[in-house]
C-alpha cells in the first residue's frame, strides 16, 4: 500500500483557476491605471493647491490652499460661462444622440441586403474623427446644417427666444451634424443589445394581439434600459474629452499664460471633473429611476 506524498501539491480548484486567469488579464490594466492615471491625478491635485512657477532652476511651489479654486469660480467669468455652456450643450446633445442611435440600430437590426455596408457607413465617422480632421471640419462650418443657421428667419427666431433657450437651440443648429457624428459607437451598442432580446417574447406578444408599436414600448425599450444608461454615460464622456471642447481649450490656454499657471489650470481641471461627475450622477439617477418605474 503506497503512502500519500505529503509534499504533493493539491490540484487547484476550477473556480480558483478561473479567478487566477481573470486576475492575470486584469492586473496589467490595474497597474497601468495606477501608474498613468492615479499618480498624475494626485500630482495634479497637489499642483492645484499651489502657485506653480517654472524657472531655470526647476519648479517652484507656493502653497495657496483653495485660492486657485475660488479664483476660477468667483473671479474668472470666462471659465464659469464655459462650464455653463458645456453643461447646456451636453444636456442638448445626449437625447439627440441616443434617439438617433436607437432609430438607426432598429433599422440595422432588420433583414435586408448590404446591411454590413450600412453598419460600416454609420461607424466610419468614429474611425476618422481625429483631431486635425474634426478641426478642419469645424473651421469650414461642415458641422452645421447648410444654410439653416445663417438664414434670416432663424436669426430672428433666435433673437425672440429667452436667454435660457437661445444658447441650446443655437448650438443645436450650428452643431447638429457634429452631434450625430458621435453616434457610431452608440449604434453598435444598441444593435448588439437588440440582437440579444429573445424573439419568442415578440411572438408571444403578437399572439396576444400586441401591435409593433406596443411591443416597442412594452418590450424593446424596457429591455434596453441598461443599454441606454451605458450609452448615455459613454456619450457624456466622449463629449467631455472632445478635442474641440471649449472648456478643455481654455484650461490648456491658461497652463502657461501670464495670468494663469499650472496650479490654476489644475484647479480648473478638477472643477471641470467635478461637473462631469455631477452630470453622470444626475443622468444615472434619472435613467435608473425611469428603469425601476418601467419594471414596477
Q: Give 10-65 as a DSSP string.
A: PPPPHHHHHHHHHHHHHHHHHHHHIIIIIHHHHHHHHHHTEEEEEETTEEEEEE-T
Does a structural domain hold residue 115? yes
Does a structural domain hold residue 7? no
Cα–Cα distance for residue pair 198/200, rounded to 1 Å: 5
Q: What is the pLDDT of residue 277?
A: 93
Instruction: Say whether both 288 and 168 belong to one domain.
Output: yes
The domain boundary, picked from 46, 63, 80, lies at 63
Tell me whether residue 87 is exposed, middle or buried, using C-beta atoms within 10 angstroms of its C-beta: 0 to 12, 13 to 18, 19 or more. middle
Q: What is the pLDDT of residue 139?
A: 65
pTM for the structure as a whole: 0.77
Whose cell is 447646456? That residue is 88
Instruction: Say whether both 34 and 148 belong to one domain.
Output: no
Instruction: Say whether both 121 and 256 belong to one domain.
Output: yes
Q: What is the pLDDT of residue 291?
A: 62
Q: What is the pLDDT of residue 266?
A: 92
Q: Can you state the angle between helices 225-240 and 184-195, rounded to 10 degrees?
A: 170
Does a structural domain hold residue 8? no
Cα–Cα distance for residue pair 185/231, rounded to 1 Å: 8
Does a structural domain hold residue 6? no
Coil, strand or helix: which one is 296? Answer: coil
Instruction: Say whether both 58 and 76 belong to one domain.
Output: no
Instruction: Say whether both 48 and 142 belong to one domain.
Output: no
Coil, strand or helix: which one is 196? Answer: coil
The domain boundary, picked from 63, 83, 99, lies at 63
The domain boundary, picked from 25, 40, 63, lies at 63
Q: What is the pLDDT along the chain (296 residues), one digit of tens a residue?
A: 555 555 556 666 778 888 888 888 889 888 998 899 899 999 999 999 988 887 777 788 888 889 999 999 998 888 998 998 888 888 888 888 898 889 888 888 887 777 777 777 777 766 666 666 666 666 666 566 555 555 666 666 666 666 656 666 666 666 666 677 778 888 888 988 888 888 888 888 888 888 888 888 888 888 888 889 889 999 898 888 887 788 998 998 888 877 778 889 999 999 999 999 999 999 888 887 766 665 55
Cα–Cα distance for residue pair 159/88, rounded to 1 Å: 18
Backbone angles phi, psi at 34, to 5 degrees: -70, -40
Does a structural domain hold residue 189? yes
Cα–Cα distance for residue pair 31/37, rounded to 1 Å: 10
Instruction: Say whether both 151 and 185 belong to one domain.
Output: yes
Residue range of the domain that includes 80? 67-295
Alpha-helical segments (H) within the chain: 14-33, 39-48, 67-74, 77-108, 115-128, 131-139, 152-160, 163-174, 176-181, 184-195, 199-207, 212-215, 221-223, 225-240, 246-253, 262-295
Instruction: Say whether both 223 and 285 belong to one domain.
Output: yes
Domain count, the chain: 2
CB 98 within 8 A of CB 239: no
CB 101 within 8 A of CB 231: yes
Instruction: Say whether both 115 and 139 belong to one domain.
Output: yes
Cα–Cα distance for residue pair 211/217, rounded to 1 Å: 10
Amino acid at each position: 500500500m503506497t503512502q500519500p506524498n505529503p509534499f504533493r501539491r493539491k490540484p487547484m480548484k476550477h473556480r480558483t483557476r478561473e479567478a487566477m486567469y481573470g486576475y492575470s488579464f486584469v492586473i496589467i490594466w490595474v497597474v497601468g491605471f495606477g501608474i498613468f492615471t492615479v499618480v498624475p491625478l494626485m500630482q495634479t491635485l497637489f499642483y492645484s493647491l499651489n502657485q506653480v512657477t517654472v524657472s531655470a532652476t526647476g519648479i517652484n511651489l507656493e502653497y495657496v490652499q483653495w485660492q486657485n479654486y475660488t479664483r476660477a469660480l468667483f473671479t474668472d467669468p470666462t471659465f464659469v460661462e464655459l462650464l455653463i455652456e458645456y453643461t447646456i450643450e451636453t444636456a442638448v446633445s445626449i437625447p439627440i444622440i441616443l434617439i438617433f442611435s436607437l432609430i438607426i440600430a432598429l433599422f440595422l437590426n432588420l433583414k435586408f441586403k448590404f446591411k454590413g455596408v450600412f453598419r460600416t457607413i454609420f461607424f466610419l465617422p468614429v474611425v476618422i474623427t481625429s483631431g486635425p480632421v474634426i478641426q478642419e471640419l469645424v473651421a469650414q462650418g461642415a458641422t452645421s446644417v447648410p444654410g439653416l443657421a445663417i438664414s434670416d428667419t432663424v436669426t430672428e427666431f433666435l433673437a425672440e427666444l429667452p436667454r435660457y433657450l437661445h444658447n441650446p437651440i443655437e448650438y443645436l443648429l450650428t452643431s447638429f451634424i457634429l452631434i450625430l457624428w458621435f453616434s457610431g459607437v452608440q449604434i453598435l451598442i444598441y444593435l448588439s443589445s437588440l440582437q440579444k432580446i429573445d424573439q419568442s417574447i415578440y411572438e408571444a406578444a403578437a399572439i396576444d394581439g400586441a401591435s409593433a408599436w406596443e411591443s416597442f414600448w412594452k418590450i424593446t425599450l424596457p429591455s434596453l434600459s441598461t443599454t441606454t444608461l451605458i450609452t448615455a454615460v459613454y456619450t457624456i464622456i466622449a463629449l467631455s474629452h472632445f478635442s474641440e471642447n471649449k472648456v478643455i481649450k481654455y484650461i490648456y490656454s491658461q497652463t502657461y499664460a501670464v495670468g494663469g499657471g499650472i496650479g490654476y489650470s489644475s484647479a480648473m481641471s478638477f472643477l471641470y471633473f467635478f461637473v462631469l461627475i455631477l452630470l453622470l450622477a444626475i443622468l444615472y439617477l434619472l435613467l435608473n429611476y425611469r428603469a425601476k418605474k418601467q419594471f414596477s
